[in-house]
Amino acid sequence: MSTDTHGSTLPTGSGLKQPYHLVDPSPWPLCGALGGGLIVLGIIFAAHYNNYIILGIGIAVVIATMFFWWRDVLKESAAAGVHSPVVRLGLRYGMMMFIASEVMFFVAFFWAYFNFALYPDHMSGVDAAKAVWPPAGVTTFDPFHLPFLNTMILLLSGCTVTWAHHSLIERDRRGLLIALACTVLLGLSFTMFQAIEYSDAPFKFVGGGVYPSTFFLATGFHGFHVIVGTIFLAVCWVRARGDAFTPERHFGFEAAAWYWHFVDVVWLFLFICIYLFGAGATE
């Protein structure tokens, strides 16, 4: 270990003649797994017992893990020779695999949704001859109201984050900061409008049946990913303001942009499959 000019402790290389950096022992993978498990357990308690304590603890643990883990990665990136070209390539592969795992995470929700949407007779307690989707008595959202507005917001945010990347490559610091700020504001706007949509929902998550369960789980987890992506981009804005990125080395920003584009694409599928394909009687 070594220290920088401010006296902060920085990690150092292993000292071996090889291009890899062996990270110091870290508690954050275990903490992140614990927080994720608490969130899943908290969702169960919230759905069945209306108890949100475990869910709140899980979210707090995940947020704390994100903060401290990213802080350690930023310290590593500041240590000379630690993030070699091979290590940066490994980070790219790691981010790709993470996004691939996230794709499969949402595939599970789409699978559950289409299992009932295409075969509504699979719903328990419903006469197969009378089974329809959406279920009888369920009033769905007008897809061309708030859902369409949120679709336009996310598509525009995809354009602004690409603008930010282009500005970074062209060494346009002002354009980078403006574009990143616009993307963060659009992400916050999406979250705000989704909260309004949820508050006006004609059906409830708890005790509402199959349709509300699949709807809130799919769109709710996407909303969570939007919040995470917004925080990710906000951190990039702070780092960009401190001139932490260069056209040659800016993987932190690239990872945030990849993640944000993934969030965009997932929402398009949600909008088409759940809001459009699954539209029934609207408000």
Q: Are 56 and 111 within one domain?
A: no
CATH of the domain at 31: 1.10.287.70
- Assigned domain for 31 exists: yes
Which of 40, 61, 82 delimits the end of a domain? Answer: 82
| Per-residue model confidence as pLDDT tens digits over 224-283 | 999 999 999 999 999 999 988 888 888 889 999 999 999 999 999 999 999 988 776 555
Q: Are 62 and 90 within one domain?
A: no
Q: What is the pLDDT of residue 226?
A: 96
Q: How confident is the model at residue 139 (pLDDT cuts 50, 70, 90)?
A: confident
CA neighbor of 194 nearest in space, from 133, 137, 267: 267
36: pLDDT strictly greater than 90: yes
CA neighbor of 233 nearest in space, from 185, 191, 167, 196: 185
Question: Range with the lowest mean pLDDT among 20-29, 54-63, 164-173?
Answer: 20-29
- Assigned domain for 19 exists: no
pTM comes to 0.80
Task: Give kind and range of the element (H or E) at residue 75.
Answer: helix 53-78
- Between CA 273 and CA 208 the distance in angstroms is 20
Q: Are 48 and 124 within one domain?
A: no
Mean pLDDT of 214-220: 91
Which of 35, 62, 82 delimits the end of a domain? Answer: 82
Average pLDDT of the chain to the nearest whole number: 86
Q: What is the pLDDT of residue 72?
A: 87
Q: What is the pLDDT of residue 280?
A: 63
| Per-residue model confidence as pLDDT tens digits over 159-208 | 999 999 999 999 999 999 999 999 999 999 999 999 999 998 888 776 66
CA neighbor of 114 nearest in space, from 216, 211, 225, 224: 211
Q: Are 131 and 236 within one domain?
A: yes
Structural contact between residues 263 and 226, judged by C-beta atoms closer than 8 angstroms: yes
CATH of the domain at 225: 1.20.120.80
Q: What is the pLDDT of residue 254?
A: 94
Q: Are 127 and 103 within one domain?
A: yes
Q: How many domains are contained in the chain?
A: 2
Task: Give the range of the structural domain holding residue 178, as residue numbers without chain letter.
Answer: 85-282
Q: Are 212 and 103 within one domain?
A: yes
